[in-house]
Structure 1
Amino acid sequence: MPPISPELHDQIGQRLRQDREAMLATVRARTAGDTDDRPAISPMAHMGSNDDAPTGEMLSHNEEHLAEHETNLLHDIDAAIGRLESGGYGVCTSCGRDIPEARLLATPTVQTCIQCQEQIEKEQGTGRGPTM
């Protein structure tokens, strides 16, 4: 039996495709030329004739990080679409257990069950535990 229902399959598939198109539009907007035909992520894109160089560099640096983040999100979406099409969607890539529907609906690109994700965060020290 597949790990998710046909209805959830259709719902998640539609959502992932919409998310992918929205993210592609965002990436295209960031990399397309602005009024000066310079993409927002290009070096010196945020420098005018009287601008502060460190501020312009900081803005360009931020744009590069946003572009990298968006690229990673696109990769995650494409991977989730691939798992959905191959029949592996909804199965934890770490332990093989089914991922609860609520988790899939909350984060359609999720690859692990809660227990495995907690273990990964514990090992990497990236969890959202106490900060003080």
Structure 2
Amino acid sequence: MPPLSQSVSEQLRASLHQAREDLLDTVRSRTDSPDDEAPSIGPLAHQGQSDDAPQSEMLSHNEQHLADHESNLLHEIDVAIGKLESGGAGICESCGRDIPEARLLATPTVRLCIECQEQLEKDQHSGRGPSM
């Protein structure tokens, strides 16, 4: 298997690190708060004295779901950076074939070749591709 070209490696590295920084900035903007305020993802962050409890609970649930999504995405980015640094980027985790450079550039966190991704979606009936 030929390694990724130098230009593709540099593009992936820059893209992944930028995506990581952007995601961390987003998380910080939601979680940083003045000392006298709870972060917006706290369990009771959306409940005021006269607030509707179910609505507050729904908002807290949505914030938690978003935080979980961001955590998973950060993990995917970190895995992709690790694979790039170790020389394993561009290799399908399922079949071991090369992942086309164009696919990696389009979705730097991709872990499967197109054929394996399609099979996974068929098996899981998800119809959803990888995301970044």
Same fold (TM over 0.5): yes
Two-structure CA RMSD over aligned residues (Å): 1.5
Number of the residue aligned with 1:93: 93
Matched to 1:24, the amino acid is L
Q: TM-score, normalised by structure 2?
A: 0.90
Number of the residue aligned with 1:16: 16
Matched, 1:124 2:129: no
Runs of 4+ in 1 over 4 A off after TM superposition: none
* Secondary structure class of the residue paired with 2:118: helix
> Quick one: structure 1 residues 34 and 103, their matched pair in 2 at CA, closer, same or farther if it must change by over 3 Å?
farther
Q: CA offset at residue 2 of structure 1?
A: 3.7
Q: CA offset at residue 31 of structure 1?
A: 2.4
Structure 2 counterparts to residues 40-119 of structure 1, below 5 A: 40-119=40-119
Measure, in 1, the Cα distance between the counterparts of 2:124 and 2:31.
33
Q: CA offset at residue 24 of structure 1?
A: 1.1
Matched to 2:52, the amino acid is D
Residue correspondences, number: 128
Q: CA offset at residue 32 of structure 1?
A: 2.2
Contact 1:34 / 1:40 at 8 angstroms: preserved in 2? Answer: no
Contact 1:30 / 1:67 at 8 angstroms: preserved in 2? Answer: no
* Secondary structure class of the residue paired with 1:10: helix
CA offsets 1:63-97 (integer angstroms, 9 cap, x no match): 00000000000000000000000111011111111
Measure, in 1, the Cα distance between the counterparts of 2:32 and 2:56.
18
Matched to 2:64, the amino acid is E
Number of the residue aligned with 2:27: 27
In structure 2, runs of 5+ residues without a counterpart are none
Measure, in 1, the Cα distance between the counterparts of 2:34 and 2:89.
39
* Secondary structure class of the residue paired with 2:90: coil
Contact 1:94 / 1:116 at 8 angstroms: preserved in 2? Answer: yes
CA offsets 1:83-132 (integer angstroms, 9 cap, x no match): 0001110111111111112211111000000100011111112125xxxx
Measure, in 1, the Cα distance between the counterparts of 2:2 and 2:64.
40
